């Protein structure tokens, strides 16, 4: 930690929720952030219990985001929250983010950014107008060896990039648990709360963001197929897409939540003229580099051969594994450092969010048509 | 070995060739086959030297396939070759196979079967007319754990199949070695000798055959992209395809020869309602089974839990790795047993060949069009 | 978190130290603990800067442990620290722990427990007399799949245990960095600060504790070899030992800090009559079970097949890796829950510490003698 | 193949035997050798059937080794066998080898070489007297990446060697199958046929030979423990040993046949001042090199970075796995090339055999004593 402890308010994430707890651990890990306020649930009892379990002062456990904003604005600046973490279902991201930004708070929001491109653009406009920072929880960007991969591609270790393969395999929606009481599954397969994409919005966006982030290339057009394998489900649970990138690279994106037995298999492979890389989220402390004319190399978190930008993201020496919470904490850390203003920091933000929303819309349009390719608008220079 | 040693003649595969030597080792391994004749090269000296190095009698080293057929037919039946192995570039497969079949010899042919569907159908017709056996070197079908995978899907271990992912990543054509004197690269990228597909015909066919063979499902339609990343190359070096299978399963096929640093990365994953499997050619003695509701299992060649049909394909006890030559030898063994007539045997044959030729033509048609999906004709009941 | 936030004071761990920062992150992760006081360094400036960076109130940054104890005792009970974390070099463990315990504070101490068995016994006596809890940072016990392994052996999944193999391979002391200014290396190879064992005390103890903890068996006698491969080094940097366990199991322990290129390779394998297990710290979210008569199983953090006691140690869903800090946090959590008194909790404590000290002394005695086996006293029923 | 096909006679290896079949496949693979004679079994029917199945002429299926030698000597030199492969239980190795050598035949013998050092020395004397070649089936030396490992150590890639760890884990003797009719288990646990060592002689010798072969170092002294975990078994089924090498390197050797669930886990790790290597038999086409100051490298069979001596041992291109039979065939090939005399070839021979016999005797002596270390005589310059 450098500098003062930042104060966080949380919207959503009451007891039983999954991602709220992850945010809290990620925020706490380095001592940079302290959770001081929350509007955890619209259920009053659940909200109150959540706040109590988290050791919050009862008066800072608010009935709604609006109440939190009003309450915090009533506090002196030096006690007031610095930022709001939005960890609700998707349909609330945009209204909440815009409200918080307009009130002068920084925002760290779950992905996907919004229900559609228009909403995402409204958030972007609000952030620019309010001159506040906006971070998106594309957690996987926070892994040190993802940063190493990005830096290696950027400095042209592999020559011009030709191939990008990204996959994200989960199996937890293989059965109709969404109609059997599983809360996580329920809202993720409900168009009113999740948006137009099911698997597409939930994990397809992660795959897409990772592919563009590490390759440094933009997807120009997409040819896609969506499927819903579980009868009765209202959104896709399986995405396949061919990608054409600026500059001629070709890609394949596969995301599914019905690969029974798979856990959280996000994997990225990129190949250029002289070699390629492979990174898999489930063993995140390893990055494999393969070469046309010399033996493959295994880069390890904390080991020799890493860029300085990678090393700064590590907390433990070589061979002491870091994981998902640490990756997440790197996003909180970068977001915090940026708010404090002392450091040059990078974290997933408006551009990543807008790109992924355009991707969702392009995939849905393409999958519904008999046309081979659908362009993805590059957007304004984001 | 059971029963008499079979006699093999070889067309192609002279000194310096790669696949001819593999065929000879595969044929020799179990003592089932003896190479006794050959027309190894149209270059007379190379032909003669090849025969001598292989210990053949000089009079059975022939100047051409026609000469071999004539010479062998002049021998008494009990000395004559039983079968011809065709290991030439693709454009010679059909004419040679038809000639050999018409003369009453069994044929084991390299893949892809022919230059197009029409040629492949002519071979099939010739085999049926001559009542002779025809085997295709879809070597990967010969791996014991591929058979295990097939049997597991067939007996419905995973429930109805939803997802098929197959990939075949090579990197050896990342540079323009085809215009720099590499013989193997040269003919494989020459439309006159390789056919309409480059990477598509060479390894895309393996991926396709493996996917259909193990899943037991047929691809109904395909949406594909072909790319040629190396300037000046005349055929594709990179294939990406979305697949729709009979019964609703969805698939992705990726085959490339420009994934710099990759070796021979053929990998198959299949998922059904209750679990899935993963097999990778580079570590072929392992088959991973994943389950929705219990821990993943690792099946090992020679270990517990294998079907009897798998065990019969093994030569060594558990933990003693078998490889590519052994897999190939399993095809020679099954082909031999079928010729001898004593055993119920399975090996890749006419149906596999015809399906892959239809796949090649469908991919090429689709990749050239702006239409999303192209049907693959199921063909007559093959 | 359940119940009130506990208050931690830290002895040692000033800026630049490695393990102090890990303790702070581990303590912070779940919100159970708050660092409120410290005596980080005998260097006044370093001490002050460390406290400031950590956001402590200046009056609770103390010049020494004694000062911290005096200062904290002067505070009202409800503000006072609950426990002291001792993260100094080894020679200070015992005096500091005894002082803190005698003053009525709980203690979480780095390993090895002390400079010898006598000191360790004195700590144990102090803890018993003061009726205070004592935890030892045998971090690897905190990994969820180590708990799973322990539970599997305990419920006799593998039958009677026959073989225990434990190894801990590091390479960071391959060169004489201890005489070249590396602080971490310096004190660890200095008998006055590290004790009688170098590698033996630093990581050999981890290996030994893990082997006894998971197997549930006690080492009865040891036959050992110590080596110092780097010239000029004053303590061993390489340990090899044969182990005989109660009940007839046989073991091998290998610990080294001169396996150049190795990171933090702690690995445990245990085999019984019917099967065995393998766990490796560098990929800690996997536990492999092998069986005599059925396929190997791969247990995964968050996946199916885990015991309830394992699941309680996890913070993320299946496929989201947890690492070293999370394992450490599990020890802080169990220690905290025990202090609060509401939960039945297990963490490495006096018995583990005493056993490892007896192990160190037995190895050193045996390695110096020409006798094959040296008994390890079981000690009083600990 | 270069030069004439060599003729092989086999002693032992009748139907149902394991290792005889492996020898035949290994000999056949490259076309260098042809099996033309055999004395497969003392059971007349089994002997005759074995010969018939292998397609031998009935008059060259002999009732005994003596009969084979007499019969073959009666043939003209150009028809006569060149060498005898001895694939019987251990107690017959020495008498048969000496008989064959004395009669002027080369010998390829299974390991361990003999029942004791004295017998092994008698074989060595016979070979020298007869000026015939003697090869030992230390198969693992035949793996291409074992040769790469040896060459890397020899040219000092890792600096002076400090650590050697070798292990060989099998589980197939976890239950008392030796007293339940399993032939392979039966003779291997019978002192009259196996010799003084059980697991020690059967696989401990492989581990020892591999360690000395690759490290290029000799074990100077050993401290060992033997165990028999299965009640009623007459020989050891579990070996643990500490090793001291010439020049100061330290080693650990572990070999066991009661690691339930393990297959054929032979693994070697060697570390020097600057880095180390790891090779595992079950994935033999990979050799991992780790370095103090740069990323780990993965060498692959057929991939970049291999020595020429390694490449010559390969039959397939990169990514096409080779296995145990191919490794074995490399020994037959080198043995054959040496007999033909045209090539400088290396294969396991008298020196390897004598060293392993001395190792067996030293381990047995040490394990029975209360003395820490037992020297292994270096023997005459072998």
User: pLDDT tens-digit profile of D226-278?
Assistant: 999 999 999 999 999 999 999 999 999 999 999 999 999 999 999 999 999 99
SS3 for chain C, per residue? CCCCCEEEEEECCCCCCCHHHHHHHHHHHCCCEEEEEEECCCCHHHHHHHHHHCCCCHHHECCCHHHHHHHHHCCCCCCCCCEEEECCCHHHHHHHHHHHHHCCCEEEECCCCCCCHHHHHHHHHHHHHHCCCEEECCHHHHCHHHHHHHHHHHCCCCCCEEEEEEEEECCCCCCCHHHCCCHHHHHHCCHHHHCCCCHHHHHHHHHHHHHHHHHCCCEEEEEEEEECCCCCCCCCCEEEEEEEEHHHCEEEEEEECCCCCCCCEEEEEEEECCEEEEEECCCCCEEEEEECCCCEEEEECCCCCCCHHHHCCCCCCCCCCCCHHHHHHHHHHHHHHHHHCCCCCCCCCHHHHHHHHHHHHHHHHHHCCCECCEECCCCCCC
Tell me what pLDDT residue C380 has. Answer: 56
Q: What average pLDDT does range D190-200 have in this prediction?
A: 93
Architecture of domain A6-136: 3-Layer(aba) Sandwich (3.40)
Asked if omega into C112 is within 30° of 0 (cis), the reply is yes
Q: Which residues of A touch D304 (CB under 8 A)?
A: 291-295
Name the percent of chain D lying above pLDDT 70.
98
Alpha carbon distances (Å) from B176 to A275, A293, A294, B232, C352: 15, 14, 18, 8, 63
**Angle, CA C22 vertex, CA C19 and CA C26 arms, to 5°:** 140
User: pLDDT tens-digit profile of C26-73?
Assistant: 999 999 999 999 999 999 999 999 999 999 999 999 999 999 999 999
User: pLDDT tens-digit profile of B186-212?
Assistant: 999 899 998 889 999 999 999 999 999
User: Who contacts A368 (Cβ-Cβ below 8 Å, separation ≥6)?
Assistant: none
D22 pLDDT above the threshold of 50: yes
Tell me what pLDDT residue C172 has. Answer: 97
Cross-chain Cβ contact C373/D371 below 8 Å: no
Looking at the complex, report in whole angstroms how far the Cα of residue B291 sits from the nearest Cα belonging to chain C. Answer: 9
User: Who contacts A124 (Cβ-Cβ below 8 Å, separation ≥6)?
Assistant: A134, A350, A353, A354, A382
Cross-chain Cβ contact A298/D294 below 8 Å: no
Burial class (CB in 10 A: 0-12, 13-18, 19+), A115: buried
| Calpha distance A216→D369 (Å, rounded) | 67
ipTM of the complex: 0.96
Neighbours of D183 (CB within 10 A): 12
Neighbours of A114 (CB within 10 A): 29
* Strand (E) or helix (H) holding D193: helix D191-194
What pLDDT band is residue B179 in, cutting at 50, 70 and 90?
A: confident
Three-state secondary structure call for residue B205 = helix
Q: Tell whether C261 is within 8 A of chain D (Cβ).
A: yes
Tell me what pLDDT residue B167 has. Answer: 98
| Calpha distance C134→B377 (Å, rounded) | 74
User: Who contacts A187 (Cβ-Cβ below 8 Å, separation ≥6)?
Assistant: A89, A193, A194
User: pLDDT tens-digit profile of D323-360?
Assistant: 999 999 999 999 999 999 877 689 999 999 999 999 99
Closest residue to A263, CB basis, from C2, C54, C303:
C303
Q: What average pLDDT does range D167-181 have in this prediction?
A: 94
Q: Are C276 and C290 in contact (CB under 8 A)?
A: yes
List the one residue out of D9, D51, D80, D28 whose CA is nearest residue B34: D28
Q: Which residues of A touch D305 (CB under 8 A)?
A: 294-295
Pairing of strands A374-375, B6-11: unpaired
The whole-angstrom distance between residue C91's C-alpha and the CA centroid of its chain comes to 16
Residue span(s) of chain A under CATH 3.30.360.10 come to 141-316+350-367
Q: Are B290 and B276 in contact (CB under 8 A)?
A: yes
What pLDDT band is residue B2 in, cutting at 50, 70 and 90?
A: low
Q: Tell whether B163 is within 8 A of chain A (Cβ).
A: yes
Pairing of strands D106-109, D83-86: parallel
Q: Which residues of A touch D152 (CB under 8 A)?
A: none
List the one residue out of D131, D61, D120, D47 whose CA is nearest residue D90: D120
Cross-chain Cβ contact B304/C289 below 8 Å: no
Three-state secondary structure call for residue D189 = coil
Alpha carbon distances (Å) from B302 to B209, B330, D186: 25, 16, 20
| Calpha distance C292→D172 (Å, rounded) | 8
B382 pLDDT above the threshold of 50: no
Looking at the complex, report in whole angstroms how far the Cα of residue C373 sits from the nearest Cα belonging to chain A. Answer: 33
Q: Are C223 and C374 in contact (CB under 8 A)?
A: yes
User: pLDDT tens-digit profile of C219-265?
Assistant: 999 999 999 999 999 999 999 999 999 999 999 999 999 999 999 99
User: Who contacts B255 (Cβ-Cβ below 8 Å, separation ≥6)?
Assistant: B167, B168, B169, B199, B200, B203, B204, B206, B207, B238, B239
How are the residues of chain B apportioned to helix, strand and coil, as percentages rounded to the nearest 5? 40, 25, 40
The residue assigned the tokens 């009481």 is A181
- Kindly tell me the number of DSSP H helices and DSSP E strands found in chain D: 13, 14
List the one residue out of A93, A107, A116 whose CA is nearest residue A135: A107
Q: Which residues of D touch B320 (CB under 8 A)?
A: 264, 323-324
B72 pLDDT above the threshold of 80: yes
Three-state secondary structure call for residue B7 = strand
Q: What's chain D's average pLDDT?
A: 95
Cross-chain Cβ contact B1/D285 below 8 Å: no
User: Who contacts A200 (Cβ-Cβ below 8 Å, separation ≥6)?
Assistant: A226, A235, A236, A239, A255, A360, A363, A364
Q: Tell whether C145 is within 8 A of chain B (Cβ).
A: no
Burial class (CB in 10 A: 0-12, 13-18, 19+), A341: exposed
Q: Which residues of D touch A297 (CB under 8 A)?
A: 295-298
Cross-chain Cβ contact B304/C298 below 8 Å: no
**φ, ψ (nearest 5 deg) of residue C268:** -125, 135
A279 pLDDT above the threshold of 50: yes
Token pair for residue C111? 């390993």
List the one residue out of B245, B285, B231 whose CA is nearest residue B373: B245
Burial class (CB in 10 A: 0-12, 13-18, 19+), C292: buried
What pLDDT band is residue C344 in, cutting at 50, 70 and 90?
A: low
Looking at the complex, report in whole angstroms how far the Cα of residue D231 sits from the nearest Cα belonging to chain A. Answer: 41
**Angle, CA D168 vertex, CA D162 and CA D171 arms, to 5°:** 155
Q: Tell whether A318 is within 8 A of chain D (Cβ).
A: no
Task: Quickly name the fold that domain C141-316+350-367 has.
Answer: Dihydrodipicolinate Reductase; domain 2 (3.30.360)
List the one residue out of A328, A335, A324 whose CA is nearest residue A26: A328
What is the interface size between B and D, counted as CB pairs within 8 Å? Answer: 117
Tell me what pLDDT residue D2 has. Answer: 57
Cross-chain Cβ contact A225/B242 below 8 Å: yes
Cα four-point dihedral sign C335, C337, C342, C346: negative
Q: Which residues of B touch C293 (CB under 8 A)?
A: 304
Cross-chain Cβ contact D273/C252 below 8 Å: no
Residue D148 backbone zone (phi > 0: left; psi -120 to 50: alpha; other: beta): alpha
Asked if omega into A112 is within 30° of 0 (cis), the reply is yes
User: pLDDT tens-digit profile of A140-178?
Assistant: 999 999 999 999 999 999 999 999 999 999 999 999 998
Tell me what pLDDT residue D378 has. Answer: 80
| Calpha distance D363→D256 (Å, rounded) | 14
Looking at the complex, report in whole angstroms how far the Cα of residue A275 sits from the nearest Cα belonging to chain B. Answer: 4
Tell me what pLDDT residue A46 has. Answer: 96
Looking at the complex, report in whole angstroms how far the Cα of residue A379 sits from the nearest Cα belonging to chain D. Answer: 40
DSSP A29-87: HTSSEEEEEEE--SSHHHHHHHHHHTT--GGGB-SSHHHHHHHHHTS-TTTS-SEEEE-
- Most D CBs within 10 Å, among B36, B142, B320, B330, to test the D interface: B320
Cross-chain Cβ contact C171/D290 below 8 Å: yes
B101 pLDDT above the threshold of 90: yes
- Which residues on adjacent β-strands are paired with residue B35? B8
Tell me what pLDDT residue A382 has. Answer: 47
Tell me what pLDDT residue D4 has. Answer: 84
Q: Which residues of C touch D221 (CB under 8 A)?
A: none
Token pair for residue D355? 């060293």
pTM higher than 0.80: yes
Residue span(s) of chain B under CATH 3.40.50.720 come to 6-136
Token pair for residue D138? 């230390």
Alpha carbon distances (Å) from C165 to A302, C208, C272, C352: 27, 10, 12, 19
Cross-chain Cβ contact B264/D318 below 8 Å: yes
Closest residue to D263, CB basis, from B2, B25, B300:
B300
What pLDDT band is residue D379 in, cutting at 50, 70 and 90?
A: confident
């Amino acid at each position: 930690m450098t500098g003062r402890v930042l104060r966080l308010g949380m919207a959503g994430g009451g007891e039983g929720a999954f991602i709220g707890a992850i945010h809290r651990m990620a925020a706490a890990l380095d001592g940079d952030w302290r959770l001081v306020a929350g509007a955890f649930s619209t259920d009053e009892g659940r909200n109150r219990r959540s706040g109590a379990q988290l050791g919050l002062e009862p008066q800072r456990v608010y009935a709604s985001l609006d109440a939190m904003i009003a309450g915090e604005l009533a506090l002196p600046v030096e006690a007031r929250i610095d930022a709001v973490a939005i960890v609700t279902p998707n349909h609330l991201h945009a209204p909440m983010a815009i409200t918080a930004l307009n009130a002068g708070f920084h925002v760290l929001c779950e992905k996907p950014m919004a229900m559609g491109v228009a909403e995402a653009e409204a958030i972007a406009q609000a952030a620019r107008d309010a001159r506040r920072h906006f971070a998106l929880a594309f957690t996987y960007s926070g892994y040190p060896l993802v940063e190493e991969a990005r830096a290696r591609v950027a400095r042209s270790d592999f020559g011009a990039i030709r191939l990008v393969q990204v996959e994200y395999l989960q199996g937890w929606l293989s059965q109709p648990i969404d109609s059997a009481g599983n809360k996580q599954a329920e809202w993720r397969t409900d168009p009113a709360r999740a948006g137009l994409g099911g698997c597409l919005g939930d994990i397809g966006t992660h795959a897409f963001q990772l592919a563009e982030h590490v390759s440094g290339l933009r997807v120009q057009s997409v040819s896609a197929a969506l499927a819903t394998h579980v009868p009765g489900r209202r959104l896709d649970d399986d995405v396949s897409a061919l990608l054409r990138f600026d500059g001629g690279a070709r890609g394949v994106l596969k995301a599914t939540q019905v690969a029974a037995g798979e856990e959280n298999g996000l994997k990225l492979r990129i190949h250029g003229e002289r070699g390629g890389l492979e990174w898999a989220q489930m063993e995140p402390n390893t990055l494999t580099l393969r070469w046309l004319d010399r033996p493959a190399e295994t880069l390890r978190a904390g080991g020799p051969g890493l860029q300085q930008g990678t090393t700064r993201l590590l907390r433990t020496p070589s061979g002491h594994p870091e994981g998902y919470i640490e990756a997440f904490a790197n996003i909180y850390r970068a977001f915090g450092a940026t708010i404090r203003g002392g450091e040059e920091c990078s974290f997933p933000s408006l551009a990543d969010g807008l790109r992924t929303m355009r991707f969702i819309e392009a995939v849905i349009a393409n999958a519904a048509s008999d046309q081979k390719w659908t362009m993805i608008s590059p957007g304004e220079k984001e």
